[in-house]
Structure 1
């Protein structure tokens, strides 16, 4: 099946989902990635002495390395304002999303849950646009059967910090609908993907993302109730 990840920034696909992307490709699925910004507004640019445009170009190159590392079949990087998705007319944003989902024709679309994973306004704005589109999708998007949210189970510990302050609302265990176990090779793929971001290695260390994800990746499902936690993002989908 075709699985399409839609995220706001470069590195969103690697800080957590990279291991499960590797697993999904190993299982014979085609994985597609759409990123709405080049992520140039990151504070890392100040340390490097780069403008937003220059930093965006660096992150785009890093992300292209991730595509090769994970063998993502198709990838598109748009150039919306980093940090500005919440200011975009949501009707126009949904039209943009419709265009790309229609182009790639996925069965499953994956993005962030309602809290955005880190509380970032770009993550939250994208969540709401995709969720609204899922319920009002035109006939052209009829192949889209499932909307899933990559998430991290709440342990009481923050995954991301800003200025030493936790900025993440995580998902309660009872809201998890899919849990996939990662192999050592899947975890190794996540490590390789994270290494593609030369400019973010300090963030990799401070977030402790590899240990935080561990051997399991979790998803919520939109408008689905099942008697058991599923073990695949495509389980029980009928074409």
Structure 2
């Protein structure tokens, strides 16, 4: 089946869902990534003493490394303004995502959960826009996507990283994707692609926060017990 992940920034795919993406590819699914911005507004550009344009170019190259490491079926990186999605007409954002969805016709569409995990505004905007697009496509009678899933975070205890993360309640999680050792190593290798972000990766403690079980919520569907993959029970 085809799975399309839609995230606002470079590294969003690697800060959590990468083990699941690797597992899905290993199981024979086609896994695609659409990233809305080049992540050019990151504060790391000040440390490097470069412009936003130069930072965006560097992060795009880092993403190309991730594409190769994970073995993605396809990847597209757009040039919407990083940290500026809230200032755009949401229909403009929806339009570029719709074009991609209608071209690819994925079975499952994936984006952030409603809390955005980090709470970053671009994450929240992405959730709202992707969810609205999915609902609009369903109202129009489209046969794709057949399911909308939300990548989320779950931790019963407070994390040890520098950044405060939001978790979904255990009862809200409809799917746990199990990664094996090889999948998890690809997650670590994908993080290593982000050479300019290594301090952030260390500060976030993401390598310890993300385990081999990746949680997802599924929109307007409930599964108890949870599914083992976001494509399960779609046949």
TM-score, normalised with respect to structure 2: 0.95
Q: Output the CA distance in 1 between the equivalents of 2:186 and 2:56.
A: 24
> Contact (CA 8 Å) 2:153, 2:166: kept in 1 or not?
no
Q: Output the CA distance in 2 between the equivalents of 1:160 and 1:224.
A: 32
Give yes or no for the alignment of 1:100 onto 2:100. Answer: yes
1:108-123 correspondence runs (5 A): 108-123=108-123
Give yes or no for the alignment of 1:144 onto 2:141. Answer: no
Which residue, out of 143, 165, 169, partners 1:172?
169
> Contact (CA 8 Å) 1:107, 1:144: kept in 2 or not?
yes
> Contact (CA 8 Å) 1:105, 1:144: kept in 2 or not?
yes
SS of equivalent residue, structure 1 residue 12 = coil
Instruction: Report the equivalent of 1:211.
Output: 208
1:79-94 correspondence runs (5 A): 79-94=79-94
In angstroms, what is the RMSD of aligned CA positions?
A: 1.5
Q: Output the CA distance in 2 between the equivalents of 1:230 and 1:221.
A: 10
Q: Output the CA distance in 1 between the equivalents of 2:33 and 2:142.
A: 17
> Contact (CA 8 Å) 1:101, 1:141: kept in 2 or not?
no
Deviation of the 1:227 alpha carbon: 2.9
Deviation of the 1:160 alpha carbon: 5.8
SS of equivalent residue, structure 1 residue 103 = helix
> Contact (CA 8 Å) 1:94, 1:130: kept in 2 or not?
yes
Instruction: Report the equivalent of 1:189.
Output: 186
Deviation of the 1:23 alpha carbon: 0.5
CA distance 1:159–1:142, change in 2 (3 Å): farther
Give yes or no for the alignment of 1:235 onto 2:228. Answer: no
Q: Output the CA distance in 1 between the equivalents of 2:143 and 2:86.
A: 27
Runs of 5+ unmatched residues, structure 2: none
> Contact (CA 8 Å) 2:159, 2:209: kept in 1 or not?
no
